[in-house]
Structure 1
Amino acid sequence: MDPFQYLLTLEQFGIKFGLANIQTLSEALGNPQNTFKSILIAGTNGKGSVTAMVDCALGAAGLRVGRYTSPHLVRLEERFAIDGAPVRTDVLAGLIVELRALIDDLV
């Protein structure tokens, strides 16, 4: 099955509120979120604009910047960027395939 189609099939299980699933997945991956500094941009309006400005400012300061935004408009790949460049489709598909067994254990 296409990796992106696989992710869409997960929607049939509905939304599970809470942090338990992401914490379990993060622990299985060795808690990579603890290995880098991050900024969470939240609120009702302006998140996309603020994210774009922060991305640009940090990049201009010479920092490596990864960005995740949601929702996407057309393709899932739109959500992910590193140093201002979209993550390649084949790279994202490979990661989904690699993580599928861990994800399947959560649903």
Structure 2
Amino acid sequence: MSVGDSIDLRYTGISSLPDNIEVYRSIYLHANRITNIVYRELWKHDHYTVFAAWLNGKCCVVVNEKIYTLGKFFGGAPAADVEQAARECVAELEQRRQTGGAA
């Protein structure tokens, strides 16, 4: 499934992302409704939803709706709490994938 730029899944019945989804800029969704991502919500200075998902054939980090490759995200000096949340999400998503869990 290729949508290219951005996709809004907030008001759909979708509960998991397709394995072959390609979306490169932004993905809008309710993280608590999608079963094959791992997310954290942060409320320190502002509200952030950070999640890891398999997008474009690889593990990516999404902050709010903006999609980052792992290299771009971790190379961009994110805030410490956002970076920690992303690391936890990526590790959990990769563990699920290795053990055959719901990822």
Report if TM-score (shorter chain) is over 0.5: no
Name which one, 1 or 2, has greater alpha-carbon Rg. Answer: 1
**Structure richer in helix, relative to its length:** 1
Q: Identify the structure with bigger relative contact order (alpha carbons < 8 Å, sequence gap 6+).
A: 1
What is the TM-score of this pair, normalised by structure 1?
0.28
**Structure richer in strand, relative to its length:** 2
